[in-house]
Amino acid sequence: MNTTSTCSLDNYLVLPDHSCDARIREAREILGDQCVVLGHHYQRDEVIQFSDYQGDSWRLSELASQARGQYIVFCGVHFMAESADILARPDQSVVLPDLNAGCSMADMAEISQVEDAWEQFVRMGLTSDEGDGITPLTYMNSAAAVKAFVGERGGAVCTSSNARAAFEWAFARNRKLFFLPDQHLGRNTGYGMGIPLDEMAVWDPYLPQGGQTAEALRAARVILWKGHCSVHMRFLPEDVDRMRQRYPGIQVIVHPECRWEVCQKANDTGSTDKLRRLVAEAPAGAKFAIGTEIHLVNRLARQHPDKTILTLNDCGCLCTTMYRISPQHLAWALENLVEGNVVNPIKVRPAVKRWARVALDRMLQIKG
């Protein structure tokens, strides 16, 4: 298979957005069943309109594992495309239209830092290297190497859709779990299960011994990696108060990547799929302030004109890395596939793939 580009990206980046639409449609038509385009809910409308399937990272992983065609074009971010490659058949190719579409949260847990933390846990006698003592769990939003790390040590991947079920699964193995890389999803999930905040210790990879005493780590039920989503961190408890004051009767619904204080004040929390469901199932006239990425909020507002749908904070809650996938990049990737060129293929190394697959398969079995 040819993996060099005959259609140069530079020629596409100068095109206006709308001029790519017809070209994308034509390329999709030529490729037919050979190609599936997956789109994350946070993608912009100009891109997601071309996806065969839309979903959160859980749903898109499932779809990637079931895709029949030769090409999976992933309109999302790097860790999602890596997961698709891990779950896809060996003869399939996964394409990420812009390799710069990363995730700042995933980047907060480098594999060398994770290995170093684990070694310290082993030295302290908290666990064996194989995971007898601590179950490691990683959020989907992490690098393939981190997924492989947890898979090899008896752990699993989870998404915001099945985080609670994954915690229950992990606690059935050990009394303690190590959650990467989003401290907020970990804290919100643990607290929702009745674990007090003082039984959850935050591990800061930039401080000696994670910034914790050995006693605190020994006592903790959950060790949380100090990572966060820069988009969801923008929502503050005062935003909830302000919206309730301004719009009496409004329901505040937020993603669990938001701070604990925000989730505590909200009417409900949930994955992007759950947030969509809550809005869809509400009666006409319902009012929502939603704490998640702005493209999804704006799309929900357009899809439900009979309801009031507002962002919880209108100060730029945009995932800039998701936004990197543009119609120009999509047209470039698809037209190259038509030419038989796989541009921006995402290939996870076989050694990493093996254990990451184990961790992802466990995720797919743990229903939310």
Q: List residues binding ligand SF4 (CB under 6 A).
A: 42, 77, 103-105, 141, 229-231, 293, 319, 321-322
Q: Give the nearest distance from C-beta 255 to ligand SF4 in angstroms.
A: 9
Contact 31, 113 (CB under 8 A): no
Q: Give the nearest distance from C-beta 115 to ligand SF4 in angstroms.
A: 22
As a whole number of Å, the CA-based R_g of the chain is 21
Measured from the CB atom, the residue of 20 and 185 that comes closer to ligand SF4 is 185
Angle at 135 between CA 134 and CA 139, to 5 degrees: 135
Residues 6+ away with beta carbon under 8 Å from 232: 184, 254, 255, 257, 258, 259, 291, 292, 317
Q: Give the nearest distance from C-beta 223 to ligand SF4 in angstroms.
A: 20
Angle at 44 between CA 288 and CA 83, to 5 degrees: 100
Q: Give the nearest distance from C-beta 241 to ligand SF4 in angstroms.
A: 24
Measured from the CB atom, the residue of 79 and 118 that comes closer to ligand SF4 is 79
Measuring CA to CA, which residue among 112, 145, 119 is closest to residue 134? 119
What element of type H or E holds 349? none
| 256 phi, psi to nearest 5 deg | -70, 5
Q: Give the nearest distance from C-beta 78 to ligand SF4 in angstroms.
A: 9
Measured from the CB atom, the residue of 63 and 319 that comes closer to ligand SF4 is 319
| 158 phi, psi to nearest 5 deg | -140, 165
Residue with tokens 């393939």: 144
Measured from the CB atom, the residue of 27 and 96 that comes closer to ligand SF4 is 96
Q: Give the nearest distance from C-beta 230 to ligand SF4 in angstroms.
A: 6
Q: Give the nearest distance from C-beta 91 to ligand SF4 in angstroms.
A: 28
Measured from the CB atom, the residue of 48 and 126 that comes closer to ligand SF4 is 48
Measured from the CB atom, the residue of 135 and 271 that comes closer to ligand SF4 is 271
CA distances from 98 to 185, 222, 290, 333 (A): 27, 36, 28, 9
Measured from the CB atom, the residue of 85 and 293 that comes closer to ligand SF4 is 293
Contact 102, 325 (CB under 8 A): no
